[in-house]
Each structure stands twice: as C-alpha cells, then as structure tokens.
Amino acid sequence: MQTTLLKGGRVIDPANGIDGIRDVLVKDGRIAAVGEVAGTPAAEGAEIIDCSGRLVLPGLIDTHSHVYQYVTGRFGLNPDMCGVHSGVTTLVDQGGASCMTLPGFRHYVAEPAESRVLAFLSAYLVGGLEGHFYPELYRPECADVDATVKSARANRDIVKGIKAHAELGGFARWGVDVMKKAARIGELTELPVYIHFGQLWPTPETGGRPVDPDSILTQVVDLLKPGDVLAHPFSRHPGGFVEQSGELHRLVKEAVAKGLKVDVGHGSHFSYKMAAKVLEAGVVPDTLGSDMHGYNTSVPAPAGTPDEHPDEEHLFAGTSRFSLVSAMVSLMALGLKLEQVVPMATSNAARLLGMSDQLGTLGVGREADISVLSDETGRWLLRDNEGTEVIAERMLQPLFCLRAGKRFDATAPILPVPKVA
Ligand SMILES: [Zn+2]
C-alpha cells in the first residue's frame, strides 16, 4: 500500500503531549513515524503532502451524528458526507439504531461507509425515526430493557453507548419512567448513557402533568452513573443547563464533580448566549458533537417526509450548513483555546467511547486516521438561530483526512462558507 508523508504541519496530539511542527509518515494504513521524517530513509518513495501552516490532528471524532440514512426518514444524513468528506474520520450515530434495527444499521450504513461509524444504541424500541418526531413512540412501554441490553452486548464492536432523552414534553407525558429504563440499560451494559437535554417534543395539549423545566436535571442526575453524558448544555430550549432565571442550574457542577461528562451536541439549537453563560460559570464541555441531521442542514428531503421538525423551529436560512470543524470554530469564538477544543474532538471523544487504545491519537502503529485543517486568523461573522452574532478571529476548515491511510478531500456540500465580518 501507499506511503504518505504529511510534511511540516502543526501536529497536536493531546494524548501524547505533542504540540509542534512535525512530519507524520503513514505506511500500509498505519502511522509509521512522527517527528523529523522528511529526508530520512523511512520516507523514501513516499508521496509528500506539504502541510506547512496546517493543523495535523488525530482523526476527528464526531460524538453526535445522525447517519441512519433513509431508515430514519429525512433525519439521517449520508455518513461520508458528515464523515470523511467533512474531514471527520469517526462518527457516532446518536440513537438512530435500536435493538430492532441495529442489524440494518450495521449492514447498510456502518459496513459500506468509508468513515468509521459507531452507534449509541437507542433506549427505545423504534430508535430515532424522523428524529423522534412522534412522541408517543417514546413512552415507557416502548422501551425494552432486556432486548436492548442483549443487542448492545452482542454488538460491542460498534455499540459504544446508549441514547436517551430527559425532556420537558416527555416528562409532562410520562415523568421519569423512560429515563429510569435507559439508566438501567446503561448499568447492565456498563456503557455510557448519552442524555439529550432541552425541550424536543411539544408539551401535550391535554392530560399532561405540569413540569418545572428546572426540575428535570434534578430528577435525572440521581439516576446516572459516572461517565454518563449530559448533552446540549448550550441549547436555547428550556430544561437544560441554564435555569429559567437565566442562571446556571445549581446541579450542573455537582453532576460534573460526580463524574458525569458534558457533550456540546452543537445542532441548530446552539445558542451563543446560553453558551457564554455556561462557560462563564466555569463549565467546559468534555466532547463536542455536531448534531447535524436532515432537519437542520440544507439537504434534499426524501419525498413525503415531514416539512419541519419541532426541535428546529425558528431555523434561519443560511445557518444550515455546518460540520464538526465549524462547531470547533464556534467554541473558539466564545473564547476557548484551540488547545482546549482539539481534545474534545479527539482524545476526550476516544475516552468517552472506551476506545483510547484505538482512536484519538497519532501514536506510532495506530491506524492512520488523521484530519488536516486550515488555520487562519481574521474576522468572520458567525450567527446562531436566535440571531445572535459573534466574531470569530480564528477560522478552521477541513482540507482532507486520511482514514486508515486512505485520503479523502473535504468536499461535502454542507460545509459552511465562512463569511468575512
Ligand atoms: Zn441529535
């Protein structure tokens, strides 16, 4: 197989404590050397790719994707569009597949994809059909603990966690019962449970019980174990990290101290105002996650699927192109450093998946999953779906990635075009 030399880029490999100008040599799909390799016998005959001025990172890991294409209706995107063609080598589908539909996910999505595709298995029998569009499919009777545990255990190579929701519309319908089942699945499988916070379903028009959005985190944190993940800390929807009063929920820091993790799950509910509040209060996410799907990106909808999604109301046209890398740019515009954001999409994400021994670093001998990004300074305008504008003074864009040594250029049509301020 081909030998490739990525020459002279800024290599950031948090797990190995590397941040500096290095060459990376790739041979037979694996990392053969990191250091000053150009001109040495090891690099003889290698295809040389000049990476000077570029970032050379461990293959990026998107901890929150939706790529059960077609089976989840309009919701699931093409995995390689979000993955290797957006500079991302590993995708974690959040709850698209269930115990009933995981075989299809493996056969039709994970196996044919060029990107590495993993799954957080849905806690519900139906999985994430149309992005959980129909709340009645997600009531407690529609979760089967034993069947889900069996499926997760039998598919440990691709199932790396469990997906659930702690959500106002659901709590108004059924209280905490579904969350209890999800937590039980997490305990029995010893896998992390990834919990969506922030309202997704409308509250029921009749028969619902009154729920204080600020009580949701309180009810859920007690059920969780260290390593479980609280998602969407920066959501503009009620029921998340920011209380109705506008303050950080008093339990967030307690939860983090207890060993719970925080994943951004960017999506289109991402709010710069909420993010600023949470970050100012000293809560820094562990992992990133793009949360792109068919309702928040500009891709053609399959015929006959719903026109819009309750989670995505008020979506402004023009902000519907994004990627894991543009989510990194969002966080940097809020004041986080590149050196803080890179681990979120590499080493921290690998740890969340229990795959630090395989993913998230550029260690010699590892499979050569490598993401190469441009890194420029200037002034760009970013805008969230509340209309809040911020200025990014640093712009990262994916150029290409190597997935097990094979090159893919970043040509996805959903990659945003930076807007100069
Ligand atoms: Zn999502």
Asked if residue 417 is part of any domain, the answer here is: no
Contact 360, 347 (CB under 8 A): yes
Mean pLDDT of the chain: 94
Q: In the chain, how many domains are there?
A: 2
> What is the rounded distance in angstroms from the CA atom of residue 20 to the CA atom of residue 36?
11
Whether residue 105 sits in one domain with residue 208: yes
pLDDT for 390 equals 95
Residue 337: pLDDT over 70: yes
pLDDT for 149 equals 98
Whether residue 379 sits in one domain with residue 340: no
In angstroms, what is the span from residue 89 Cα to ligand 1's centroid?
Answer: 19
Q: Which residue is associated with the tokens 């305008």?
A: 381
Q: Give 248's strand partners.
A: 242
In angstroms, what is the span from residue 132 Cα to ligand 1's centroid?
Answer: 10
Residue 199: pLDDT over 90: no
CA 138 and chain centroid, separation: 22
In angstroms, what is the span from residue 206 Cα to ligand 1's centroid?
Answer: 27
Whether residue 384 sits in one domain with residue 244: no
pLDDT for 317 equals 43
In angstroms, what is the span from residue 231 Cα to ligand 1's centroid?
Answer: 9
Q: Which residue is associated with the tokens 């500009």?
A: 298
The residue among 352, 374, 391 that closes a domain is: 352
Asked if residue 357 is part of any domain, the answer here is: no
pLDDT for 318 equals 43
- Least confident range from 8-12, 129-133, 355-359, 403-407: namely 129-133
Asked if residue 359 is part of any domain, the answer here is: no
- Show the tokens assigned to 333: 């515009």
Whether residue 169 sits in one domain with residue 31: no
Asked if residue 416 is part of any domain, the answer here is: no
In angstroms, what is the span from residue 265 Cα to ligand 1's centroid?
Answer: 7
Residue 75: give its domain's CATH number: 3.20.20.140
pLDDT for 315 equals 52
**pLDDT tier at 344, thresholds 50, 70, 90:** very high
Residue 408: pLDDT over 90: yes
pLDDT for 238 equals 86
Report the b/e string of 86-107 with b at 16+ CB within 10 A. Answer: bbbbbbbbbbbbbbbbbeebbe
Mode of pairing for the β-strands spanning 3-13 and 54-58: parallel
In angstroms, what is the span from residue 320 Cα to ligand 1's centroid?
Answer: 15
In angstroms, what is the span from residue 26 Cα to ligand 1's centroid?
Answer: 34
Give the number of C-alpha atoms closer than 13 A to the C-alpha of residue 170, restricted to the C-beta side: 29
pLDDT for 316 equals 47
Distances from the Cα of 76 to the Cαs of 16, 67, 398, in angstroms? 35, 4, 22
- Cβ-based neighbours of 238, under 8 Å, separated by 6 or more: 168, 198, 199, 213, 244
In angstroms, what is the span from residue 268 Cα to ligand 1's centroid?
Answer: 10
Angle of CA points 257, 263, 269, to nearest 5°? 125
Helix (H) or strand (E) holding 397: strand 389-403
Mean pLDDT of 73-85: 96
What digits encode the pLDDT tens for the residues 154-169?
A: 999 999 999 999 999 9
In angstroms, what is the span from residue 323 Cα to ligand 1's centroid?
Answer: 13
pLDDT for 385 equals 85
pLDDT for 313 equals 55
Whether residue 115 sits in one domain with residue 175: yes
- Cβ-based neighbours of 325, under 8 Å, separated by 6 or more: 60, 86, 87, 88, 373, 396, 397, 398
- Show the tokens assigned to 286: 């562990």
Whether residue 278 sits in one domain with residue 335: yes
Nearest to 264 by CA among 251, 250, 274, 255: 274
pLDDT for 301 equals 87
What digits encode the pLDDT tens for the residues 252-282?
A: 999 999 999 999 999 888 999 999 999 999 9
pLDDT for 299 equals 85
CA 337 and chain centroid, separation: 19
Residue 202: pLDDT over 80: yes
Mean pLDDT of 180-203: 95
Q: Give 407's strand partners.
A: 402
In angstroms, what is the span from residue 96 Cα to ligand 1's centroid?
Answer: 9
Report the b/e string of 387-408 with b at 16+ CB within 10 A. Answer: eeebebebbbbbbbbbbbbebb
> What is the rounded distance in angstroms from the CA atom of residue 411 to the CA atom of residue 398?
9
pLDDT for 312 equals 64
What digits encode the pLDDT tens for the residues 9-28?
A: 999 999 999 999 999 999 99
Nearest to 352 by CA among 284, 261, 283: 261
> What is the rounded distance in angstroms from the CA atom of residue 324 to the CA atom of residue 264?
11
The residue among 313, 329, 352 that closes a domain is: 352
Number of C-beta neighbours around residue 21 at 10 A: 13
Whether residue 384 sits in one domain with residue 322: no
Contact 190, 167 (CB under 8 A): no
Whether residue 193 sits in one domain with residue 82: yes
> What is the rounded distance in angstroms from the CA atom of residue 339 to the CA atom of residue 396?
13
In angstroms, what is the span from residue 377 Cα to ligand 1's centroid?
Answer: 31
Whether residue 94 sits in one domain with residue 50: no
In angstroms, what is the span from residue 140 Cα to ligand 1's centroid?
Answer: 20
Mean pLDDT of 110-132: 97
Asked if residue 386 is part of any domain, the answer here is: yes
Residue 395 backbone dihedrals phi, psi, to 5 degrees: -125, 125
pLDDT for 308 equals 79
The residue among 352, 380, 401 that closes a domain is: 352
pLDDT for 161 equals 98
The one-letter amino acid at 300: P
Residue 51: give its domain's CATH number: 2.30.40.10
| Domain region containing 27 | 4-57+364-409
In angstroms, what is the span from residue 291 Cα to ligand 1's centroid?
Answer: 5
- Show the tokens assigned to 246: 């506008």
pLDDT for 366 equals 98
In angstroms, what is the span from residue 64 Cα to ligand 1's centroid?
Answer: 6
Between these two residues, 226 and 307, which has the higher pLDDT value?
226
What digits encode the pLDDT tens for the residues 285-311?
A: 999 999 999 888 888 888 998 887 776
In angstroms, what is the span from residue 407 Cα to ligand 1's centroid?
Answer: 28
In angstroms, what is the span from residue 8 Cα to ligand 1's centroid?
Answer: 37
Asked if residue 421 is part of any domain, the answer here is: no
Whether residue 332 sits in one domain with residue 220: yes
Whether residue 66 sits in one domain with residue 190: yes
In angstroms, what is the span from residue 41 Cα to ligand 1's centroid?
Answer: 47
Distances from the Cα of 220 to the Cαs of 167, 197, 275, in angstroms? 10, 10, 21
Whether residue 220 sits in one domain with residue 83: yes
